[in-house]
Amino acid sequence: MILRAALCGLAAAAAMAAAGLRISIIENDQERLLSSACTLPAAEVGSIVPVKFRIRSQPDAVMLERVDVKGADLYLTMRPALPILIWPGAYVDVDVEFRPSLPGSGSGTLEVNDRIITIITQALPAPEVRTESGAVLYPAEPYEFGEVQLGNSVTRHFWVDNPTGERVTVTRLDVTGTGFRAAIPPVPFQIEAGASVPFDVTFEPQSQGSLGAFLHLNSREYSLRGTANAPPLPKPELILEPAALRSGMQGTIAVRLASAASWPAEGVLRMAFDGQTDPSVRFIGGDGRAVPLIIPAGETVARFGSAQSAGFQTGSTAGRLTFTLELGSYTEQVVADIAPAAVQFDTASAKRASSSVEVRFTGFDNTRSISALAFTFRDTAGRLIGSGPITVDVSRDFRTYFDASAYGGTFSLRAVFPVRGDVSQIGSVDIEAANSQGAARRSVTMTE
């Protein structure tokens, strides 16, 4: 009696689990509960019809152990990793595709654990698309128009064939996509058994790159592809202004074509510096070492934003500037050497205090080799004070400074000189800085 009761309990649990398995089909984002069968909408031969089934467990949890689809033209495209426990209120989706290959009625099954749902299908006779080579076009195989130069076009001839033994109706025949246009008869129209209707598709790109479109025949969609190449550009020339560069200046560089561009072109101008690290060697715009440019159709001069040239700074270090233009198939370069030079003063000032004078000056040494400084003081009448210049050997100090600097040849210096006597009688100071290229001088009038 006890064993029999246990067996009855197991059977009841199994029946409850089976009763908790609910299978629906998703139609227009709504679930329609299935009992033993479902009928799919009729579909044309050659089309692909996605179908989504949903498996729920109510009111008890169910262990999903088996999901399978059987039958011609039915394909299981997505199912969960099995086994999986479906808790009450949760669900698992299963994706199926109906790919009719021959006209007529058919059926298959969706098998979920021990549940079997019959799937009834209907495949309609359908027209086909034939290419000018005689091949039948298939939705899964893109048709290539090849490469076309901008400003040109290529036209391909197609036919809508009716290979069936009965009349078919074409309700949609069109091409959608940038760069493609079609010469197609108005729809709807009918094609008798064994007959054909011609139409043309033209690839006429208006922009560069890989382009795609879709050819629609009733419910089917075919992929069309083509590549648009810009026509060759006239040879570009880089024009540097001024032609001879030196440190501490700004220049411009322009790009000109030998003749007008027949199509818009985009490129980039890059700047490289062979010398000490110097962040001030850069384009005034862009990201510092590269600027984009465009050449509008019909023009010969490149535009950098709204300007017809790109401004740049030569920095404070001797070295070699290389400008590289990447435009279409061209890679053009121009090189400019920044020669070593004497020290360049940017600012200088001298100020009296109660018992001293302070001299400040900024500038750059593009050789990074300052070795000596000399200061010659004069009175308010311009006469020499003392026996001559005060000379300082600064070679070690500047070498240490430049070795640690990441700012090219720039420097800033402050010097304080104690004074015995009447400070107000000091009228000016001559500053001299010597490097490997010679000496540079600057005269500064004293201020209070």
Residues 6+ apart with CB under 8 A from 150: 205, 206, 207, 208, 228, 229, 230, 231, 263
Q: What is the pLDDT of residue 103?
A: 86
User: 158 with 221, same domain?
Assistant: yes
Q: Please report, for the domain that includes residue 430, its CATH number.
A: 2.60.40.1200
**What three-state secondary structure class fits 54?**
strand
Domain boundary among 229, 251, 277: 229
Could you tell me whether strands 115-124 and 37-39 are parallel, antiparallel, or unpaired per DSSP bridges? parallel
Say how many C-beta atoms besides its own lie within 10 A of residue 162's C-beta. Answer: 22
* Same-domain check for residues 428 and 351: yes
Do residues 115 and 16 share a domain? Answer: yes
Closest CA to 210 of 219, 223, 194: 223
Strand residue runs (E) in 79-219: 84-86, 91-98, 104-112, 115-124, 128-131, 143-149, 154-161, 168-170, 173-176, 180-183, 189-191, 196-203, 209-217
Residues 260 and 318 placed together within one structural domain of the fold: yes
> Of 71, 101, 124, which residue sits at a domain end?
124
| Distance, C-alpha 181 to centroid of its chain | 28
Same domain, 111 and 139: no
pLDDT for 10 equals 35
Do residue 41 and residue 96 come from a single domain? Answer: yes
Is residue 330 located within the same domain as residue 412?
A: no
Could you read off the pLDDT of 162-217 as tens digits, one per residue? 998 889 999 999 999 999 999 999 999 999 999 999 999 999 998 889 999 999 99
d(CA 304, CA 65): 65
> Is residue 27 within 8 Å of residue 108, measured between CB atoms?
no
Q: Which position has the token pair 């001088």?
A: 441
- Domain end, chosen from 229, 248, 270, is at 229
The pLDDT assigned to 37 comes to 95
Give the pLDDT confidence of 127-136 residue by residue, as tens digits: 999 999 999 9
- Looking at the structure, tell me whether residues 222 and 319 fall in a common domain: no
Say which amino acid occupies 98.
Answer: F
pLDDT score of 71: 92
Q: Are residues 207 and 134 in the same domain?
A: yes
Do 171 and 209 belong to one domain? Answer: yes
Domain that holds residue 144: 128-229
358 and 398 part of one domain: yes
Residue 402's SS3 state is helix
Sign of CA pseudo-dihedral 194, 199, 203, 206: negative
pLDDT at 128: 93
Residue the block writes with tokens 């107000």: 424
Helices (H), 236-282: none
| Residue 277, C-beta contacts closer than 8 angstroms, at least 6 positions apart | 406, 408
The SS3 call for residue 80 is coil
288 CB-near residues (< 8 Å, 6+ apart): 279, 282
Do both 8 and 117 map to the same domain?
yes
Question: What's the CATH number where 19 sits?
Answer: 2.60.40.10
Q: How many domains does the chain have?
A: 4
- What pLDDT tens digit does each residue of the chain (448 aa) get? 333 333 333 333 334 344 478 999 999 999 999 999 999 999 988 888 999 999 999 888 999 999 999 998 999 999 889 999 999 989 999 999 999 988 899 999 999 999 999 999 999 889 999 999 999 998 878 999 999 998 899 999 999 999 988 899 999 999 999 999 999 999 999 999 999 999 999 999 988 899 999 999 998 899 999 999 988 899 999 999 999 999 999 999 999 999 999 888 999 999 999 999 999 999 997 778 999 999 999 999 999 999 999 999 999 999 999 999 999 889 999 999 999 999 999 999 999 999 999 999 999 999 999 999 999 999 999 999 988 899 999 999 999 999 999 999 999 999 999 999 899 999 999 999 999 999 999 999 999 8
Tell me if residue 401 falls in helix, strand or coil. helix
- Per-residue confidence (pLDDT) for residue 8, from 0 to 100: 37
Q: What is the pLDDT of residue 375?
A: 97
- CB neighbours of residue 377 within 10 Å: 22
Report CA-CA distances (Å) from 443 to 377, 411, 427, 428: 10, 18, 11, 7
pLDDT at 102: 86
CA distances from residue 228 to 182, 203, 218, 233, 284 in whole angstroms, order as listed: 18, 9, 29, 15, 34
Q: How far apart are alpha carbons 287 and 443 in whole angstroms?
A: 39
The SS3 call for residue 102 is coil
What is the CB neighbour count within 10 angstroms for residue 150? 18
The answer to whether 349 touches 296, Cβ cutoff 8 Å, is: no
Question: Which is nearest to 343 in space by CA: 408, 438, 424?
Answer: 438
Residue 257 neighbours by CB distance under 10 Å: 19
pLDDT for res 7: 33
Q: Fill in the DSSP letter of residue 306.
A: T
